[in-house]
Amino acid sequence: MTLQTVLLVAAALFSVGLYGALSQQVVVMVMMGLELMLNGLILAAAGFWWFLAPDPSGQVLLLVIIVAMTVEMAMGFAVATHLHRVRRADMTDMAADLSG
């Protein structure tokens, strides 16, 4: 287990998440893609912290990433609920009013 191997795994998780976030049509599935990208970020940040500078302030950054993930999920569910209530829509293509 080295920094390089940790970062490789994190890069794989980030890329899989990117594929999902770009390709999926259902809002919840897009959110899953974003979560997977943040999953990779958590692992990369943990690797950087442990292998480069393991002082406590680095862990605070990790907590901030986890909070960002929580906020993204909570707001994503709220927006998806609102979208479903107003338009009966659960797909991104059905809510493309501002695109272009």
Binding site residues, another protein, CB under 8 A: 1, 3-20, 22-26, 28-29, 32-33, 35-36, 39, 42-43, 46-47, 49-57, 59-60, 62-64, 66-67, 70-71, 73-75, 77-82, 84-85, 90-91, 93
Q: What is the DSSP letter of 91?
A: B
CB of 89 to another protein, least distance (A): 10
CA distance 50 to 21: 29
CB of 84 to another protein, least distance (A): 5
Q: Output 32 or 95, the one with its CB closest to another protein.
A: 32
CB of 30 to another protein, least distance (A): 11
Q: Which of 43, 56, 33 is nearest to 11 (CA)?
A: 43
Amino acid residing at 96: A
- Element holding 30 (H helix, E strand): helix 27-52
